[in-house]
Structure 1
Amino acid sequence: MSTTTSSAVGYSAVLRVPGLRSVFVAHAVSMAGTVAAQVALSILVFERTGSALLSALVLVCSFLPYALGGIVLSSISDRFPARRVLVCCDLLSAACVGAMLIPGMQVGGLLGLLLLTGLIAPIFAGARAASLAQLLDAELFPIGRSLLRAISQVTVLAGFALGAVAVAAIGPTWLLGLDVVTFVASAALIGFGTPFTPAAGRTASTLQDSLTGLRYLRANRPLRRLILLTWVVPAFSSMPDGLAVAYAAQTGAAATAAGALFAGYSAGGILGELAATRLAPATRRRLVIPFILLSQVPAIAFIAEPSIPVAAMLLAVSGSGFAFNQGIDPLVLAASGPEYRGRVFTIQSSGMMAIQGLSIALAGAIGTVLRPNLTICLAGLVGSVVCLWLARRALN
């Protein structure tokens, strides 16, 4: 049962709900540590091997397990109380990162432990979303998820900007140690500062219940179309990220200028989320398709090979379109039965991360054949058409 009323809107209304400040502070703390640790691990692997490929595998290993975790383990989010799941996930992640600090740990072991943390992450995301659905009413639920996304964008923006600086200052090993502390702090905040929410229940083994969730999603056409839409929109709009370094080189700028492109997309995402929270729920629903087009169309302008500052502004506009989720989240909530919500949100988050990893890899592959700006333009063109078609099917 919801513990809020719909009379207040905005992030402040969400943060006034008892226990939710701890949820969002915990998210910020663990997210910041995770991003910084990815930077540290990439540098650590490169220092030990001198291999750019193995260093890049750090990001691949961060994306890859999401798909497996979402398929095999999604039912954990429904089988146990959310608070217990969240605390256990944080402590297991802390243990995995802590094991990376064992002296003499081989690169294969480091990547294997990173894969384990990637399996845990979608379970955590699904349980957290399911608990928000119990603690917030239908109007505030999308605002709560928006705040999680905004925090993620801020921490990604700051983490990648400051991670390399922190590695230079204290070294990658100490930064990994700091990540252990952030996971433990997140577990403490959630364990002692958040209210209890009951489990949806269990009917079979974890794997069987997870597969039941997949069958439920496949049989529920309206829900399936909504989830697919939340996967495909970021799949196309994230392709410029995979080509940021190559595009900077194409324009004659230094490779470090790619940071401006990453920052532009993240900053736009934050501003879009903030702006959308001030709109009425009905307005956010009406703006779903305009927001989706906003996320795709700016990439088409890359055909003119814009300068880095202009390109960063275009990606900021594209990032702002990700606020379309604020109109979609209430529809996903309404279309999914309470006993399946943990599994649905786990599958949603894991699928979104997995398909983004694949789309970034695809953009890199196409970018070896076409010029980077043409590849980005093509992503914008195809993305606009495909996403508009999916949106019309999902929203009708």
Structure 2
Amino acid sequence: MGTVAAKIALSILIFERTGSPLLSALVLVCSFLPYALGGILLSSVADRFPARRVLVGCDVLSAVCIALMLIPGLPVGALLGLLLVTGVIAPIFAGARAASLAQLLPAELFPVGRSLLRAISQVTVLTGFAVGAAAVAAVGAPWLLAVDVVTFLVSALVIGFGTPYSPAGERNRGTVRDSWIGLRYVFGHPRLRPLILLTWVAPAFSSVPDGLAVAYSAQTGAAPAAAGALFTGYAAGTVLGELVVARFNSSLRRRLVVPLLLASQLPAIAFLAKPSVPVAALVLAVSGAGYAFNQAVDPMILEAADPAYRGRLFTVQTSGLMAIQGVSIALAGVVGSFVAPNLTIAVAGVCGTIVTLLIAYRAVVRPAELAAHDQRWLAPPLRPRV
């Protein structure tokens, strides 16, 4: 929550200093793009060192970067550079956290644990935006950045004293080389590759309405501020879907992968009818609920992955997800400049449905069919009657 609020504060601070909407918007760009860099070059950090040490180190480094932003008169380039550093650190933290979660929880509870983290993330993003905007108006951007420094330090203390020690992995090669080997492992593994792609592609298409929320609100004749209802609808649906699906057993979750994927993509096609903002918010809530398909995919990834690569795997997964969503939102904005926003969203729903189903067949349906086929062939023969 502190980080989301701080991004708002930094964006406002840069706009107040420069009066440039472009430089202010670069705050969000600098928040998305470094995820790809951190995931490619530094993913092995999550495997090379004990998870607790990595998590605490990431928090402390992020606190230092935010604290340096408080230096009076610091150039805008330096502010954005410090934000880039925190963006590179973020996927390493997320990868180490997911890998440590796999050690702290039994396999059957791992998907529920990650589901809880996703639900918390959605709630804190919404709260962070609301709190951030109000806090900047009340106390000013510098004080809000100072609060973010405190949130990082509190997080470091909670992790340092509240989580158990876990051993480090092997460190036979350099960090970048180990990261590259992990990347090759993820995309060279025939079972992992389609699963990871599925966790990227589905939200990439379903995030298109986020990039066009303001434009769509204007298209329907509503005030631009009404776009907040669209953001809230998707986030609320995501939280509700995660909480409901978490109550199902693992077998039912796996059977629901394809229906949930369809729920995440098909509702966007309803934008062809150009629904009102309240109805569109309900449509996006259904789409957000479909994001719970990850609760079935997460244990499949865990089963397929070598434990020695878990940190790199989850770092790559997180960084790729953030990067592809950033690109998707940017492309939606470009296309929406030439095509009506409702048509752009509907086309994204059609394309998303087709692409995710094709990947789901490779990732989930076909492996299940092959496994059933193997079981039939490997079943012991009946004993002959004597």
1:1-396 equivalent positions in 2, closer than 5 A: 32-395=1-364, 396=366
Corresponding pairs, count: 365
Give the TM-score normalised by structure 2.
0.94
| Structure 2 unmatched runs, 5+ | 367-386
Deviation at 1:297, TM superposition (A): 0.6
What secondary structure, in the 3-state scheme, does the structure 2 residue paired with 1:169 have? helix
Q: Deviations over 1:198-250 (max 9, x none)?
A: 12222200011001101111221110110011010110001100001111111
> Counterparts of 2:15 and 2:219 in 1: how far apart (Å)?
25
Counterpart of 1:6 in structure 2 is: none
Task: For residues 273-306 of structure 1, give each alpha carbon's deviation from its aligned partner in whole angstroms, at most 9, with x where no partner exists.
Answer: 0001100111011101111110111110001111
TM-score normalised per structure 1: 0.91
Contact 1:237 1:295 in 2 (8 A): yes
SS of 2:99's partner is helix
Partners in 2 of 1:114 and 1:68 — Cα distance? 13
Distance 1:387 1:42 in 2: 35
- Residue identity in the other structure for 1:387: T
Moved over 3 A (4+): none
Structure 1 residue identity aligned to 2:273: A
CA deviation vs aligned residue, 1:313-335 (integer Å, no higher than 9, x gap): 11111111110000000000011
Counterpart CA distance in 1 for 2:30 and 2:237 is: 27
1:13 corresponds to which residue? none
Amino acid at match of 1:239: V
Structure (1 or 2) with the larger CA radius of gyration: 2
1:147-180 Cα offsets, whole Å, 9 max, x none, are 1100000001111122111110111110011000
Partner Cα separation in structure 1 for residue 250 and residue 59 of structure 2: 33
Tell whether the 8 Å contact from 1:78 to 1:200 is kept in structure 2 after alignment. yes
Q: CA separation in 1, counterparts of 2:24 and 2:265?
A: 30
In structure 2, distance between residues paired with 1:269 and 1:318: 8
CA distance, structure 1, for counterparts of residue 257 and residue 9 of structure 2: 37
Q: Give the AA of the match of 2:128.
A: G
Gaps of 5+ in 1: 1-31
> 2 CA distance for matches of 1:323 and 1:279?
11
Aligned CA-pair RMSD: 0.7
Cα distance per residue 1:124-157 (max 9 Å; x no partner):
0000011011111111000110011000000011
Three-state SS of the structure 1 residue aligned to 2:108 is: coil
SS class of match (1:226): helix
What is the Cα deviation at residue 271 of structure 1?
A: 0.2
Amino acid at match of 1:156: V
Distance 1:294 1:106 in 2: 46
Q: Aligned partners of 1:38, 1:96: CA distance in 2, in Å?
A: 13
Which residue does 1:16 correspond to in 2?
none
1:48-90 Cα distance to aligned partner (Å, 9 max, x none): 1111111111111000000010000000000000000000000
Matches of 1:169 and 1:42 in 2, distance apart?
Answer: 16
Instruction: Measure, in 2, the Cα distance between the counterparts of 1:276 and 1:126.
Output: 23
- Alpha carbons 1:298, 1:380 under 8 Å: kept: yes
Per-residue deviation, 1:102: 0.5
- Report SS of the residue matched to 1:221: coil
Distance in 1 between the 2:29 and 2:5 partners? 16
Separation in structure 1 between the aligned mates of residue 71 and residue 130 of structure 2, nearest angstrom = 27
Take 1:308 and 1:163, find their aligned partners in 2: how far apart are those partners? Answer: 24
Q: Which moved more, 1:215-224 or 1:232-241?
A: 215-224
One-letter amino acid of the counterpart of residue 189, structure 1: V
Does the Cα contact within 8 Å between 1:295 and 1:318 map onto a contact in 2? yes
The answer on whether the counterparts of 1:264 and 1:315 sit within 8 Å (CA) in structure 2 is yes
The 1-side partners of 2:8 and 2:136 are apart by 8
In structure 2, distance between residues paired with 1:336 and 1:351: 17
What is the CA–CA distance in structure 2 between the aligned matches of 1:286 and 1:197, rounded to whole Å?
Answer: 34
Whether the aligned pair in 2 keeps the contact of 1:200 and 1:338 (CA below 8 Å) is no
- Alignment partners' CA distance in 1, 2:44 and 2:110: 21
